[in-house]
Amino acid sequence: MTASISAFSFPLSLACVLATAASVTAFALHWMREHPQGLDRDDDQLYRSLVECCPDVIMQFDNDLLCTYASPAAARMFGRPPGELFGSVMGDQLTPEDRASLAAAAARTREGRDGAEAIFRTTRQTGELLWVEARFSLLTGDAGLIAVLRDVSNRKTAELALRVANAELNKLAGSDALTDLANRRRFDQALNNECRRASRHNTCVSLILIDIDSFKSFNDRHGHQAGDACLIRVATAARAALTRPSDMAARFAGDEFAVMLPGCDSEAAALMAETVRKAVQDFGIPHKGNAGGGVVTVSIGCATVVPTRENLETVGALLIAETDRALYDAKRLGRNGVMTTKTRAAWSPLIGDERRLALVAAYRQAGLFLPSSGLNRIARMATVLLGMPVAFVALLDHNDVEVIGQHGPEEVPDGISHLFCSQVIGGRSPLVVPDAALDPRFRDEGRQHGFGFIAAAPLLAGEDLQHVGALWVADRHARPALDEPKRVLLAHLASLAVEDLEARRRQADERNSRVA
C-alpha cells in the first residue's frame, strides 16, 4: 500500500503545487477514465476523495446515458443532493435546444472524438439561472461516459454584457444624437444592403424624404432649442410610421428625414407618407407665417425602384435622386403635401414648367389676361349650378395669378387665389376644402378673407393638357364636401373655360397671321 501511495505522491504534490481547480479536475478525470471500476479499496478511496474535492461537478453516465455517479460539488452547483441525480437521464430537464446540444456532444464523444463540449442552461433549486459548460470523455472498456460540469454563469453574464455594450456602441455610432434615428452613414449602408437583397429576390424598395416647411424661419423666430424640439417631434412621426423590422427612419440631413421601406410598393409608400404628413400637421406646433396655416408642416417626396444586377451599383443613388425631385416638386406646389414619382409622371406638364409657361405666355400675348365676358358667364353658371355665391377663373403665370373671369358680389382676394392655385394646379381632379378653418394649409388665409368653403378644378389646356390655371367656387361659410356629380360638373365647367381660352387664342393667331 505504501508503494501505491508513493507512486502517486508526485502527481498529488503537483496538484497541490499548482493549486488550481483545473489541475485537480483534470487529474481526477484522468483517473476515473482509466479506472471506471476503481482500483483496490485504499486506492479507490484516495481518488474518490480527490474527486470529491474538485470544485467542478464530475458525473458518470452509463451507455444508456443514465447517471451512475455525481460528485458532491453537484450540491453546490445545483442545490440538490448528488443522490437525486442518480438514475436520471442526461439533460432530461433541459430545453429541447440545450438537450439536443448536450446529446450531440455525448454522441461525438462516443464516436471517439474525446473532449467534446456543450454549454447549456439550467436552474438551481432556488430558481436562479445557471449556465453550465460540459466536457465529455469516454470511459475505458465501454463503460460509458464521464462529464465535467463547470459553472460558467459569470463568464456568460460578462459575455452578454459585452454584447450589449458593443450593440449600444454600434447603435450610437449609427444613430443621430438628437433624434435617436439612424444617421446618414447607417442609412446609406442599410439602403445598399436592401437594394442588394431586393435584386436577389426581384422586389422593390421605396424611399420617403421629409422636409420641414420653412424651418429656417421657424428657427429664426423661435430659437434653436424650439427648433430641436420640432425636429424630435417630426422624427417621432417618422418613427411611428414604421410597421416592419426592415423599415428604417433616419435623419437624412439637417431638417430632412428619410424613411426606407424595403418591399413596399409606391401606393403603400404614398399612404405612409400621407400618414406622416398628417401626423406632423396634427401636432399643431405653432409656426406663424407658415403657409400651412400657422403650424409646422412637412413636404414629402416618394419614389420606388426595383433593383437588378445591372443597375445595382447606381440604383441607390437613383432612388435618392428621384425621391429628392419629388420632394422638390411637393415644395414648389404649395408645401404641406406628398408627391410621388407616379404623380410627377401624371403631372409632367406642370413639372416641365417651360411647356406650361409657354402656353400661358401665348395666352398673354393673345390678350387673354384681361377679363372676359365668356368666362364671366362660365363663372356665373358655376355659382348657379353649384349653389355658391362666388366663382372665378384665374390663370397662373410664373408667380402671379390673373383673374380673368368672375361672378359674385365681392372681388376675389389675390392671396387666397394664389395659394389655391399652388395647391390645385398640380392635380387633375378638383380640390375641395369644406372648412378652411380646419385645414392648416388655408386656415389663416380663409379667416383673413372670410372664406369658409372653397373648391377648385384645374384648367388643363393644350394637346398635352398643361395646367394653366383653375376655376374656383367659394362661400364664406363651411359647407359639406361636393359629391361626385358636383365634382364632375366643376371639372366640366373648367373644361368649358379652357375651350373659351383656346378659341380666343386661335382667333388671335388668325388675326396675327392675316396682318403678317
Active site residues: 255
Please name the amino acid found at residue 306: V
Are residues 336 and 298 in contact, defined by beta-carbon separation less than 8 angstroms? Answer: yes
3-class DSSP assignment, residue 62: coil
- Residue with the three cell numbers 414619382: 341
CA 427-433-438 angle, 5° bins: 130
Integer Cα distance of 198 and 205 in angstroms: 7
Burial 146-166 (b: 16+ CB within 10 A, else e): bbbbbbebeebeeeeeeeeee
Which amino acid belongs to residue 354? E
The SS3 call for residue 416 is helix
The CA-CA-CA angle for residues 486, 491, 494, to 5°, reads 130
Q: How far is CA 29 from CA 21, 33, 150, 217, 269, in A?
A: 12, 6, 13, 77, 64
Q: Rounded distance, CA 469 to CA 396, Å? A: 5
Identity at 25, one-letter amino acid code = T
CB 109 within 8 A of CB 116: yes
**Closest residue by Cα to residue 260 from 312, 187, 193, 327:** 187
Helix (H) or strand (E) run with residue 188 in it? helix 184-201
Single out the residue of 495, 449, 498, 494 nearest to residue 475, CA to CA: 449
